[in-house]
Amino acid sequence: MKKVAIVGASGYSGEELVRLLLAHPHAELAAVTSRQYAGQTLAQVFPRYASHPRAKALRFSEPVADVLAKQADIVFLALPHGVAAEYAGPLLQAGCVVIDLSADFRVKSATVYKEFYAHDHPAPDLLAKAVYGLPEIYREQIRKASLVASPGCYPTSILVPVIPLLKAGLIKETGIIADSLSGVSGAGRKAELDYLFVECNESVRPYGVPKHRHLSEIEQELSLAAGTKVTIQFTPHLIPVNRGILTTLYLAPAEHFTDANGAAKLGEKIAACYRASYGDEPFVRLLEGKTLPDTKNVVGTNVIEIAWRLDPRTGRLIVMSAEDNLVKGASGQAVQSMNILCGWPETAGLI
């Protein structure tokens, strides 16, 4: 058993980490922090978990790095970008493993960070230390990491389906379009008019067009996979569900095809590529037959579903993915990284 702490445990990602870590077979939730709820028990703040004995005993505390370092071996940071980095340094120095769910250590370049997040990077010296926490791509690096930059929800839904195709040279690195639909929890637990029930229910809307912050990490990782700079089009939309991201990707196959025969031949290569990449992955579900991704089949789980279709009319490859933005897109993936780091079964506490 290792002791774990969550800094910023009162947002939606933090709440989901609480759920996962209370039930984890090898981790003991030793501390949770929240400026807003300091002094209250987990059971008071999250009645949902009140039946768990630990939830009645554990009280939220103020986030103080020194204190946390004594309480926990592993610290999850579920804080806004800019703030997370302030905690990472002291915690690392005190010997903790840090798994950061913010954007602070995902982008390797402080310049790119500033371009997309509009302020100087708060701890540029730590950037080289950070491992991008996408287990399906960086499992070996995560195993040895002390600072994991857990990926964003949109990036996960795009990178998992696209990276193998880019690496295998099956698609062109130009012209990639990602059209994503996200549940409202993706906006965080923020008391803003835009996210009121009445403003979101019976509403669908794009936002952040055309330059969303997540593009920085998406393009970085796609570029690494392609071996050349990749620029993509990305449009996020807000839809009235609590959880879930559905991403539809428009890709140009490297190989030209114009009919069903061509599609069948190319299809075999794509299927083989996905099978080779993800056939044994516990949290990637390659859909077969006529099944298409549906967020309701992944919500509450750490699974990402992937399906694809070749269109002989346009010569394009359409890939679709579905995930729970708070699990595979955030807290579940962070726990998956912890499992790898600690040498536990990768699925511990996740199924």
Residues 265 to 294: which contact its own copies by CB under 8 A?
Answer: 282-283, 285, 287, 289, 291-294
> Residue 123: which of 110, 134, 133, 138 has the closest Cα?
110
CB atoms within 10 A of CB 265: 12
CA distance 351 to 24: 10
Judged on CB neighbours under 10 Å (0-12, 13-18, 19+), 46 is buried
Is 256 among the residues that bind its own copies (CB under 8 A)? no
If the CB atoms of residues 122 and 161 are measured against its own copies, the closer one turns out to be 161
Is 257 among the residues that bind its own copies (CB under 8 A)? no
Is 301 among the residues that bind its own copies (CB under 8 A)? yes
> Which of the 8 DSSP states describes residue 74?
E
Is 181 among the residues that bind its own copies (CB under 8 A)? yes
If the CB atoms of residues 72 and 200 are measured against its own copies, the closer one turns out to be 200
Is 120 among the residues that bind its own copies (CB under 8 A)? no
If the CB atoms of residues 31 and 246 are measured against its own copies, the closer one turns out to be 246
Active-site annotation holder among 96, 153, 273, 342: 153
Q: Which of residues 39-78 bind its own copies (CB under 8 A)?
A: 44, 47-48, 50-52
Does residue 37 contact residue 11 with C-beta atoms inside 8 Å?
no
Does residue 114 contact residue 121 with C-beta atoms inside 8 Å?
yes
Token output for 232: 């993509």
Amino acid identity, position 80: P
If the CB atoms of residues 23 and 272 are measured against its own copies, the closer one turns out to be 23
CB of residue 193 to its own copies, shortest distance in Å: 5
Is 325 among the residues that bind its own copies (CB under 8 A)? no
Integer-rounded Cα Rg, in Å, for the chain is 20
CA distance 26 to 296: 29
The single residue among 9, 134, 299, 334 that binds its own copies, judged by CB under 8 A, is 299
Is 211 among the residues that bind its own copies (CB under 8 A)? yes
CA distance 316 to 322: 20
The single residue among 112, 177, 224, 342 that binds its own copies, judged by CB under 8 A, is 177
CA distance 14 to 40: 15
Judged on CB neighbours under 10 Å (0-12, 13-18, 19+), 67 is middle
Q: Which of residues 220-239 bind its own copies (CB under 8 A)?
A: 231-233, 235, 237, 239
Is 331 among the residues that bind its own copies (CB under 8 A)? no
CB of residue 184 to its own copies, shortest distance in Å: 4
CB of residue 215 to its own copies, shortest distance in Å: 8
The single residue among 200, 222, 327, 335 that binds its own copies, judged by CB under 8 A, is 200
Is 318 among the residues that bind its own copies (CB under 8 A)? yes
Token output for 227: 């071996």
Can 153 be counted among the known catalytic residues?
yes
Is 115 among the residues that bind its own copies (CB under 8 A)? no
CB of residue 122 to its own copies, shortest distance in Å: 26
- Length of the chain, please? 351
If the CB atoms of residues 149 and 153 are measured against its own copies, the closer one turns out to be 153
Rounded to the nearest 10°, the torsion over CA 51, 18, 242, 155 is -160
CA distance 339 to 351: 13
The label of the residue with tokens 């939730």 reads 29
If the CB atoms of residues 93 and 261 are measured against its own copies, the closer one turns out to be 261
CB of residue 170 to its own copies, shortest distance in Å: 18
Is 322 among the residues that bind its own copies (CB under 8 A)? yes
Find the helix or strand (DSSP H, E) in which 234 lies: strand 233-238
If the CB atoms of residues 144 and 256 are measured against its own copies, the closer one turns out to be 256
Alpha carbon 279 to its chain's center: 20
Q: Please work out the total of residues on this chain that contact its own copies, with binding judged by CB under 8 A.
A: 77
Question: Which are the catalytic amino acids?
Answer: 153
